[in-house]
Amino acid sequence: MGTAPGTGCEDPSAEVLAEAAAAFGLLAAPARLHIVWALAQGESDVTGLAERVGGALPAVSQHLTKLKLAGLVRSRREGRRQVYYVDTAEQGAVVEVVHHLVARLAERETSRTAPMRRLPAS
Protein backbone atom coordinates (compact mmCIF):
# COMPACT_ATOMS: atom_id res chain seq x y z
CA MET A 1 0.00 0.00 0.00
CA GLY A 2 1.18 3.47 -0.83
CA THR A 3 0.38 6.84 0.61
CA ALA A 4 -1.16 9.68 -1.39
CA PRO A 5 1.38 12.54 -1.55
CA GLY A 6 0.54 15.42 0.75
CA THR A 7 -2.48 13.72 2.33
CA GLY A 8 -1.04 11.17 4.71
CA CYS A 9 -3.84 8.81 3.65
CA GLU A 10 -2.91 5.23 2.89
CA ASP A 11 -4.17 3.63 -0.28
CA PRO A 12 -6.65 0.79 0.25
CA SER A 13 -5.48 -2.80 -0.05
CA ALA A 14 -6.01 -4.80 -3.22
CA GLU A 15 -8.65 -6.85 -1.40
CA VAL A 16 -10.64 -3.74 -0.42
CA LEU A 17 -10.45 -2.40 -3.98
CA ALA A 18 -11.60 -5.76 -5.38
CA GLU A 19 -14.56 -5.82 -2.98
CA ALA A 20 -15.51 -2.25 -3.93
CA ALA A 21 -15.23 -3.08 -7.64
CA ALA A 22 -17.49 -6.09 -7.15
CA ALA A 23 -20.09 -3.94 -5.37
CA PHE A 24 -20.01 -1.35 -8.15
CA GLY A 25 -20.18 -4.19 -10.69
CA LEU A 26 -23.45 -5.30 -9.13
CA LEU A 27 -24.84 -1.82 -9.63
CA ALA A 28 -24.01 -2.02 -13.35
CA ALA A 29 -27.22 -4.02 -13.94
CA PRO A 30 -30.15 -1.67 -14.59
CA ALA A 31 -32.55 -3.79 -12.51
CA ARG A 32 -30.23 -3.75 -9.47
CA LEU A 33 -29.60 -0.04 -9.86
CA HIS A 34 -33.37 0.52 -9.94
CA ILE A 35 -33.80 -1.59 -6.80
CA VAL A 36 -31.16 0.41 -4.91
CA TRP A 37 -32.74 3.63 -6.17
CA ALA A 38 -36.17 2.48 -4.97
CA LEU A 39 -34.87 1.35 -1.57
CA ALA A 40 -33.08 4.66 -1.11
CA GLN A 41 -36.54 6.25 -1.24
CA GLY A 42 -37.87 3.88 1.43
CA GLU A 43 -37.99 0.28 2.52
CA SER A 44 -40.09 -2.33 0.74
CA ASP A 45 -40.82 -6.02 0.52
CA VAL A 46 -39.96 -8.04 -2.59
CA THR A 47 -43.53 -7.84 -3.95
CA GLY A 48 -43.58 -4.05 -3.76
CA LEU A 49 -40.15 -3.85 -5.37
CA ALA A 50 -41.14 -6.21 -8.18
CA GLU A 51 -44.17 -4.02 -8.93
CA ARG A 52 -42.12 -0.83 -8.79
CA VAL A 53 -39.20 -1.97 -10.94
CA GLY A 54 -41.34 -4.05 -13.29
CA GLY A 55 -39.53 -7.32 -12.68
CA ALA A 56 -40.62 -10.86 -12.01
CA LEU A 57 -40.72 -11.78 -8.32
CA PRO A 58 -38.02 -14.51 -8.57
CA ALA A 59 -35.68 -12.23 -10.53
CA VAL A 60 -36.08 -9.34 -8.06
CA SER A 61 -35.51 -11.78 -5.20
CA GLN A 62 -32.25 -12.97 -6.81
CA HIS A 63 -31.10 -9.38 -7.33
CA LEU A 64 -31.84 -8.62 -3.68
CA THR A 65 -29.84 -11.65 -2.57
CA LYS A 66 -26.81 -10.47 -4.54
CA LEU A 67 -27.14 -6.90 -3.30
CA LYS A 68 -27.46 -8.21 0.25
CA LEU A 69 -24.33 -10.38 -0.08
CA ALA A 70 -22.42 -7.30 -1.29
CA GLY A 71 -23.61 -5.37 1.76
CA LEU A 72 -25.52 -2.81 -0.32
CA VAL A 73 -28.95 -3.87 0.97
CA ARG A 74 -30.16 -5.19 4.32
CA SER A 75 -33.34 -6.89 5.41
CA ARG A 76 -35.39 -7.62 8.47
CA ARG A 77 -38.34 -9.88 9.11
CA GLU A 78 -41.75 -8.37 9.84
CA GLY A 79 -44.12 -11.25 10.48
CA ARG A 80 -44.13 -13.30 7.30
CA ARG A 81 -42.60 -10.51 5.17
CA GLN A 82 -38.97 -9.79 4.55
CA VAL A 83 -38.51 -6.01 4.38
CA TYR A 84 -35.51 -4.67 2.45
CA TYR A 85 -33.78 -1.35 2.97
CA VAL A 86 -30.53 0.47 2.38
CA ASP A 87 -28.59 1.09 5.57
CA THR A 88 -27.78 4.74 5.02
CA ALA A 89 -25.41 4.76 8.00
CA GLU A 90 -23.24 2.17 6.21
CA GLN A 91 -24.03 2.77 2.55
CA GLY A 92 -25.01 6.43 2.54
CA ALA A 93 -22.16 7.46 0.26
CA VAL A 94 -22.97 4.77 -2.31
CA VAL A 95 -26.65 5.71 -2.27
CA GLU A 96 -25.72 9.37 -2.67
CA VAL A 97 -23.60 8.54 -5.75
CA VAL A 98 -26.42 6.44 -7.24
CA HIS A 99 -29.00 9.15 -6.53
CA HIS A 100 -26.82 11.94 -7.93
CA LEU A 101 -25.90 10.07 -11.11
CA VAL A 102 -29.40 8.80 -11.90
CA ALA A 103 -31.00 12.17 -11.14
CA ARG A 104 -28.48 13.97 -13.35
CA LEU A 105 -29.04 11.55 -16.23
CA ALA A 106 -32.82 11.84 -15.84
CA GLU A 107 -32.57 15.64 -15.98
CA ARG A 108 -30.43 15.44 -19.08
CA GLU A 109 -32.95 13.10 -20.72
CA THR A 110 -35.83 15.41 -19.83
CA SER A 111 -34.07 18.43 -21.27
CA ARG A 112 -33.41 16.54 -24.52
CA THR A 113 -37.03 15.46 -24.95
CA ALA A 114 -38.66 18.70 -23.79
CA PRO A 115 -40.18 20.67 -26.65
CA MET A 116 -38.36 23.86 -27.47
CA ARG A 117 -40.20 26.96 -26.31
CA ARG A 118 -40.57 29.80 -28.72
CA LEU A 119 -39.93 33.31 -27.57
CA PRO A 120 -42.97 35.55 -27.81
CA ALA A 121 -42.93 37.87 -30.78
CA SER A 122 -42.16 41.47 -29.90
Of 119 and 87, more confident = 87
11, pLDDT greater than 70: yes
Confidence of residue 12 (pLDDT cuts 50, 70, 90): confident
Question: Between helices 30-41 and 57-69, what is the axis angle to 10°?
Answer: 80
40, pLDDT greater than 80: yes
Of 7 and 54, more confident = 54
Q: How far apart are CA 80 and CA 35, in angstroms?
A: 21
The helix (H) or strand (E) run that includes residue 44 is strand 44-45
Burial class (CB in 10 A: 0-12, 13-18, 19+), 50: buried
34, pLDDT greater than 60: yes
Q: What is the CA radius of gyration of the chain?
A: 19
Confidence of residue 1 (pLDDT cuts 50, 70, 90): low
122, pLDDT greater than 60: no
Percent of the chain's residues with pLDDT above 90: 39
Q: How far apart are CA 12 and CA 4, in angstroms?
A: 11
**Other Cβ atoms closer than 10 A to 27:** 19
Confidence of residue 70 (pLDDT cuts 50, 70, 90): confident
